A and B are shown apart, each in its own frame.
Chain A
Amino acid sequence: MALNVLIVDDSAVMRTMVLRTLRLSGLPLGEVHEAPDGQAGLEVLQAHWVDLVLLDLNMPRMNGEELLGEIRGNPETASVAVIVVSTEGSDARIALIHKLGAGFVHKPFRPEQLRAEILQLTGMQDDAHETSAVAADGSGDF
């Protein structure tokens, strides 16, 4: 199954890095959408089928926590897999993210970390792994 992905981050550079890391992770990707804030992300979710949302926390207009709340509050998107990708270090805030059923990956991160979190959250099998995609020397670190 190819994953349709939405990357929500106010930094275009970080969106590019997240996508690059996703590609290095070896997971099958379908459509990839990007949004610069939570509000724009919500609009993408209303218009497209998305399997996985990779979400920053600190963003203008609508932040990551607010978007996560909107996703979980809508029956049509409540079961979408969400992973927060952030420098956030507050235990309380990370606990809240987990309570809302989202995964958490700390920036900077490696392709294998992102892959493991996606597999755990989506229940995908690990047989799609293209080992050559992840650099053995760790040069894909982010």
Chain B
Amino acid sequence: MTLTRPVPLQLTAAATFEDLALLVPLDYLVEEQRDVPLTHGVVVRFFGPMTGRLELRVSEGVTRAVAANMLGLDEPSEQLQADAFGELANVLTGNLLSLMTHAVGVFHLRPPTRIGAEMSADIPVAETALGLEEGRVNVRLFITLGG
């Protein structure tokens, strides 16, 4: 599918990390961040005026920082880290879709689901990378129908 307008993926992703998890990502990667392996992934599938999915992957330590800041805990459990990471992906997806459709149309989001850190060969309609302290964030948007 070809989009006629640019997707505000980078801005929305950075704003979500900042507003929800109090983490301020860079909109570029420095050399050390480029080689950091991605270790955790989550997908949010959506249906409505467009159908597709948003995949969010991060390097080691990011999910802990996200959960710690969102919940105000020093040592969040693995489960809380996964839940907080999923909720962040959920909020990011909802806000991104609102921006893309100018608040027209109702989307239904499936609950966030864990995925592997390996990326599929599918080609996203938009992709962005953010630097986050010593780690990095990768976001990919796939749209399969509608729009």
A interface, CB within 8 angstroms of B? 10-14, 16-17, 20, 58, 86-93, 107-108, 139, 141-142
Chain A residues whose CB sits within 8 angstroms of the CB of B105 once the complex forms: 90
A-B contact pairs, 9 of them (CB 8 A): A10-B111, A11-B90, A13-B67, A13-B80, A13-B83, A20-B71, A87-B90, A87-B98, A142-B70
Residue of B nearest to A106 (CB): B95
Closest-CB distance, A27 to chain B (whole angstroms): 18
Q: Which of A10, A16, A90, A139 contacts B98 (CB 8 A)?
A: A90
Bound complex: CA of A108 vs CA of B94, how far in Å?
11
Is B70's CB under 8 angstroms from A92's CB?
no
Q: List which B51-101 residues lie within 8 A (CB) of chain A.
A: 67, 70-72, 80, 83-84, 86-87, 90-91, 93-95, 97-99, 101
Closest-CB distance, B28 to chain A (whole angstroms): 24
Closest-CB distance, A137 to chain B (whole angstroms): 11
